[in-house]
Amino acid sequence: RYAGQRLKTLLAWHEQYAPDEWEKHRNAAIYVLQGNRNPLIDFPEWALRLQFEG
């Protein structure tokens, strides 16, 4: 569970370091191997809409 300042720090980092092409490619390669994707790589704007509460 992320709360308070830790959540603010993670969201600030997420905005400052948006997924680049390498990370998008890596996400696609992981999908081929594992069958799952990181939705915050595919849809970075979701980070501001999600509620990170337990």
> Do the domain assignments include residue 30?
yes
Give me the number of domains the chain comprises. 1
> Do the domain assignments include residue 54?
no
Domain that holds residue 39: 4-48
> Do the domain assignments include residue 36?
yes
> Do the domain assignments include residue 53?
no
List helix spans (H) across 1-54.
4-16, 21-34, 39-42
The answer to whether residues 21 and 41 touch, using CB atoms and an 8 Å cutoff, is no
pTM score, whole prediction: 0.74
> Do the domain assignments include residue 25?
yes
Instruction: State pLDDT tens for residues 17-44.
Output: 999 999 999 999 999 999 999 999 999 9
